[in-house]
Every structure is written in structure tokens, then in C-alpha cells.
């Protein structure tokens, strides 16, 4: 068995692992990274963010084509199968893999394909597909193994009509009806995607509202537009059992209801990928969700071992994971670092949602005197030109100081639009003010102009 010595070994090539490894290599460290799959990119590239967002984009284009009056003049609406749309989306995955593989080669990072397991707090054993073994010894080790869908033991995921958010990507047909259990971010995104393909979707939520962490007005807007596209939302429901047969799936709810569909998608919760790491060999323990606890430096309970990304839990976003990995190595390299806490929310439903900062409910509970400025996309020239008139921008600001407290956006390009407000909110002192948007000239016509409209609307409420 070959033994290799490094300054840093990173386990996992998702956003957290990639940023940790490249950052360390750029600062002169000898780095190795381990990936259990045949290609780099982790869950983000192959089963999560990239495929689902690429899929969403294709579906959104189909919806735009089928509702555009100009295209109706030259032909009838077109319908595409799920496998066909997914096939088109795979080109993005291939490009991502090629690009990220190049990153490791260019930065002279040694890439090992295999399953990593701790031997001790400085040593990782890597077993490849041919049962070959490599021993990697390092001063520091970063765990960035990500997460996978939680699968309850009483649901038979081997059944050909029962899926989780990973296996749904290999769906070989287009079901006429689909039950999605779990109305979190993943469940809502897939409800948008499948309803956009003309599938009748039952979205089962075990809470009383969709995405309750969102601003109430935004959550209500999402509910409305999902229903508008044919999604039937069932709140406050829990499953009792899920039974698959040759022609479909029957979902038994604890309320006594029974729902039959062609297919079933479980989208309720995720588990950290820590069960195969041999944590018992180093005295490190994951919680019930397979997640690791870290301090403000991303150190675990073992001083030589760090963790970043989905494997440490909240916020479980690719954007945050990248920054967490970067900052875990910044601490290792004795450079300036930050603990990632202020993270924008990006939810890629159709239309999409994005927010930064507290919502109205949270500000009210905190007894902070705030006011609201709104701009509806239907009133902006750019949205009228593109036809994407659904949505709004909402600015929450302090009544007295005009400090921007929160930005909430629903509609086309929401995740892009949000970053303008985020940039101003991150300014210190009096630089964070609603007046910035009134005193700044925006290109016209643009979606960004909604900030000026919302700011003027908000100032009209101040006395």
C-alpha cells in the first residue's frame, strides 16, 4: 500500500471541497482531494444544484414558447418528455465536470478516486473500485462529503415508481400524475418543474404553509402560482405508508386520505454523508442526521479535522458551501477568515424566489419599526418587453434611519436582482440607506430599475 504525505487532504469535490483544496494549493500547500464517484463535482454537480437548475431552465423555455403569442402564429404548442428535457440538461453537467477537473490539474492537486475512511486523526485510507488502497497522511484534513436524500426505512425506494431527489433524475418516462412528499425547497422546485411539463402534481406538506421561513407575502405568491399551474397543495399531512404496484403508487396519509399517482417523489430531508468515513476510529460523532458540529473556525471536536458544506447542516446551499470551504482553509493558512452566516436565499421554483435579511414577521416580533417599499414587475418596462411580468421586489427599511433591513424578491431573475440590494445592505453605517436607490441612475429598461420604484414607493410612506 502506497503512503502519500500532504499538508492538507480534502474529502469530497463538491463546492466546499473544491474551494478548500484550491485555496490551499494557491497558498503553496501540498494538497490531495478524494472523490468516491468516477467524476468530480460532488452531489451539487451530478444530483443537486446543477441538474435540477438546468432542468428547470429547459422547462421554463418550453413554458415560454407555449404561452408566447408570436410563436402561436407559426405553430401549435409543443410538449416534451422528461427524459428528453433531462438529456438536454446533461450537457451542462459535462461542461461542469470538464471545467472542475481542469481546476485540479492546473493547481497541481492530487486527485484520488475512491472511498475515504479515517485511520487516525492525520491519516485517511482510500479504497478504489478495484479494491486497491492508498494511505494519505496530512497535517490537516477537511471533510466536505456533502449530503444525500434522507430515505425512511418504511418506504421501498427499490420500487421502479418510487423516487428520491437523486433517483428522479434517471426517470425514463413522463408520468401523467406525480405525488411529491415534502414541500421544502427541493419539493417546491420539482413541483414547478413537473407541472411545467404538464404533469398533475400533488404536493404534500407536513406544515401549514409553504417555506415558512420566507416572507409571508412571498410564500403566499408561491402557493398561488403553483396552484395556477395545476399543483394541488395539501397542508398539514403526514404519510402513513407508500405502496407501489405495477401501474402506480398509492400514498396513504395519516388523515385517512389515499392518493394514487403514476409515480412518487420523496423530498423530505437530507442526511450528511458521514456513515462510511470511519468516524469511530478518531472519536468523532455525527448527529442523528449524519451532520458534524464545527466551531467558528470550521474545526470539529478533533483539532486537526475541519468540516464544511452540507455535511455541517445549515444553510445547505452550494453558495454557502463554497465560502465555508474557502474560509476553513483560510483559518488553516492563518489568513483572514469569516464564519459564513449572512447568506442569500435562492429558490429556483418557477418563478424563482430570493431573499436576504429578516422578513416582516421577524421584524415585527423584534419590535423594529420598519416600512415597506414595493415594485411590481408588471409595472416595469423590461418585464413588459420580456413577458415575465409575474413577481415583485420588496424592500424593508427602518422608518427613522432608512437603513435597509431586508430584501425579498419573487419573479424572473429574482436571485440575480437580489444581489444589488445585498451589496448596499453590506455597506457600513450611513452607506446602507434607501436613498441610494433614489439617487442612483439605473439603466432603462432593466429589472434592476425595480429598486428605484420600490424605494420611491417606500419613501412615500415615511412621515
Residue 394 included in any domain: yes
| Position 38 in a domain | yes
Summarize the chain as % helix, strand, coil (round to 5): 35, 25, 40
Is 198 known to sit in a ligand binding site?
Answer: no
Domain end point (choices 301, 333, 365): 333
C-alpha cell at 60: 421554463
**148-204, pLDDT tens digit by residue?**
999 999 999 999 999 999 999 999 999 999 999 999 999 999 999 999 999 999 999
Q: What pLDDT sits at residue 79?
A: 80
Distance between CA atoms of residues 128 and 119, nearest Å: 16
Supply the pLDDT for residue 131. 86
278 among the known binding-site residues? no
Are residue 119 and residue 19 in the same domain, yes or no? Answer: yes
Output the CA torsion sign for 310, 412, 225, 55. negative
Query: Does the annotation flag 269 for ligand binding?
Result: yes
Q: Any idea what the CATH number is for the domain that residue 250 is in?
A: 3.50.50.60
Any long-range contacts for 460-463 (C-beta under 8 Å, 24+ apart)?
461/371, 461/372, 461/373, 462/371, 462/399, 462/402
Query: Average pLDDT of the chain?
Result: 95
Instruction: Answer yes or no: is 188 a known binding residue.
Output: yes
Say if residue 10 is in the same domain as residue 140.
yes
Does 109 share its domain with 37?
yes
At 24 the pLDDT is 95
- Is 38 annotated in a binding site? The answer is yes
Indicate whether 144 and 18 sit together in one domain: yes
Indicate whether 338 belongs to any domain.
Answer: no
Structurally, the chain folds into a number of domains equal to: 3
329 is in an annotated binding site: no
Last residue of a domain, one of 224, 245, 268: 268
In terms of domains, do 166 and 263 share one? yes
In a domain, 393, yes or no: yes
This prediction's pTM: 0.94
344, part of any domain: no
Same-domain check for residues 294 and 212:
no
Helix/strand/coil (H/E/C) assignment for every residue in 112-176: EECEEEEEECCEEEEECCCCCEEEEEEEEEEECCCEEECCCCCCCCCCCCEEECCHHHHCCCCCC
Q: Which residues of the chain have pLDDT under 70?
A: 72, 331-332
Task: Assess contact for 11 and 277: CB atoms under 8 A.
Answer: yes
pLDDT value of residue 351: 93
Is 36 within any annotated ligand binding site? yes
The string of DSSP codes covering 309-372 is GGGG-TT--HHHHHHHHHHHHHHHTT----------EEE-SSS-EEEES--HHHHHHTT--EEE
pLDDT at 222: 97
Residue 31: half-sphere exposure toward Cβ, Cα within 13 Å: 29
Annotated binding-site residue? 40: yes
Does 147 count as an annotated binding residue?
yes
Q: Does the residue 156 lie in any domain? A: no
Residue 145, annotated as binding a ligand? yes
- Residues 306, 193, single domain; the answer is no
| 319 shares a domain with 187 | no
Q: Is 186 flagged in the annotation as binding?
A: yes
Residue 69 pLDDT: 76
Same domain, 253 and 178: yes
> Within a domain: residue 19?
yes
What is the domain extent for residue 128? 2-149+271-333
Q: Are residues 11 and 135 in the same domain?
A: yes
310 marked ligand binding residue: yes
Give pLDDT, residue 65: 84
Domain containing residue 432: CATH number: 3.30.390.30
Give the sheet arrangement for strand 231-234, strand by strand.
162-164, 263-266, 177-181, 200-204, 231-234
Give the residue from 235, 268, 301 where a domain finishes. Answer: 268
- Which value, to the nearest 10 degrees, does the dihedral of the CA atoms of residues 363, 366, 369, 375 take? 0
Asked whether residue 13 falls in the same domain as residue 129, the answer is yes
Kindly state whether residues 363 and 436 are assigned to the same domain.
yes
53 is annotated as contributing to ligand binding: yes
Kindly state whether residue 155 falls inside one of the protein's structural domains. no
**What is d(CA 309, CA 147) in angstroms, rounded to the nearest whole number?**
9
User: How far apart, in whole angstroms, are the C-alpha atoms of residue 354 and residue 447?
Assistant: 14
Amino acid at each position: 500500500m502506497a503512503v502519500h504525505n500532504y499538508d492538507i487532504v480534502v474529502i469530497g469535490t463538491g463546492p466546499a471541497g473544491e474551494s478548500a483544496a484550491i485555496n490551499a494549493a494557491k497558498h503553496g500547500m501540498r494538497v490531495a482531494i478524494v472523490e468516491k464517484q468516477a467524476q468530480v463535482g460532488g452531489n451539487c454537480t451530478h444530483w443537486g444544484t446543477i441538474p435540477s437548475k438546468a432542468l428547470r431552465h429547459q422547462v421554463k423555455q418550453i413554458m415560454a414558447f407555449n404561452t408566447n403569442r408570436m410563436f402561436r402564429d407559426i405553430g401549435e404548442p409543443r410538449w416534451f418528455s422528461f427524459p428528453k428535457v433531462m438529456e438536454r440538461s446533461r450537457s451542462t453537467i459535462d461542461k461542469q465536470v470538464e471545467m472542475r477537473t481542469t481546476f485540479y490539474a492546473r493547481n497541481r492537486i492530487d486527485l484520488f478516486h475512491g472511498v475515504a475512511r479515517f485511520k487516525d486523526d492525520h491519516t485517511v485510507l482510500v479504497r478504489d473500485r478495484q479494491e486497491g488502497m492508498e494511505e494519505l497522511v496530512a497535517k490537516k484534513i477537511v471533510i466536505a462529503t456533502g449530503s444525500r436524500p434522507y430515505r425512511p426505512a418504511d418506504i421501498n425506494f427499490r420500487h421502479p415508481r418510487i423516487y428520491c431527489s437523486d433517483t428522479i433524475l434517471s426517470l425514463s418516462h413522463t408520468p401523467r400524475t406525480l405525488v411529491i412528499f415534502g414541500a421544502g425547497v427541493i419539493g417546491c422546485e420539482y413541483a414547478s418543474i413537473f407541472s411545467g411539463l404538464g404533469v398533475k402534481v400533488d404536493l404534500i406538506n407536513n406544515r401549514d404553509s409553504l417555506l415558512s421561513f420566507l416572507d409571508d407575502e412571498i410564500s403566499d405568491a408561491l402557493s398561488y402560482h403553483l396552484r395556477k399551474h395545476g399543483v394541488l397543495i395539501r397542508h398539514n399531512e403526514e404519510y402513513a405508508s407508500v405502496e407501489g404496484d405495477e401501474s402506480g403508487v398509492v400514498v396513504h396519509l395519516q388523515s385517512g386520505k389515499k392518493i394514487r399517482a403514476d409515480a412518487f417523489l420523496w423530498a423530505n430531508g437530507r442526511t450528511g454523508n458521514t456513515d462510511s468515513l470511519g468516524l469511530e476510529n478518531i472519536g468523532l460523532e455525527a448527529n442523528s442526521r449524519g451532520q458534524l458540529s464545527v466551531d467558528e473556525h470550521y474545526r470539529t471536536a478533533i483539532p486537526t479535522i475541519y468540516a464544511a458544506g452540507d455535511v455541517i447542516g445549515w444553510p445547505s446551499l452550494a453558495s454557502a458551501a463554497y465560502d465555508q470551504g474557502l474560509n476553513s482553509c483560510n483559518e488553516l493558512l492563518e489568513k483572514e477568515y469569516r464564519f459564513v452566516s449572512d447568506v442569500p436565499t435562492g429558490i429556483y421554483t418557477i418563478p424563482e424566489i430570493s431573499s436576504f435579511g429578516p422578513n416582516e414577521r421577524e421584524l415585527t416580533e423584534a419590535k423594529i419599526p420598519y416600512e415597506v417599499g414595493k415594485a411590481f414587475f408588471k409595472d416595469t418596462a423590461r418585464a413588459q418587453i420580456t413577458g415575465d411580468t409575474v413577481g415583485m421586489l420588496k424592500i424593508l427599511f427602518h422608518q427613522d434611519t432608512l437603513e435597509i433591513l431586508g430584501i425579498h424578491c419573487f419573479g424572473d431573475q429574482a436571485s440575480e436582482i437580489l444581489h444589488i440590494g445585498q451589496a448596499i445592505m453590506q455597506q457600513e453605517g450611513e452607506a446602507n440607506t434607501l436613498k441610494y436607490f433614489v439617487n442612483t441612475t439605473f439603466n432603462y429598461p432593466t429589472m434592476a430599475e425595480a429598486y428605484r420604484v420600490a424605494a420611491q414607493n417606500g419613501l412615500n410612506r415615511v412621515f
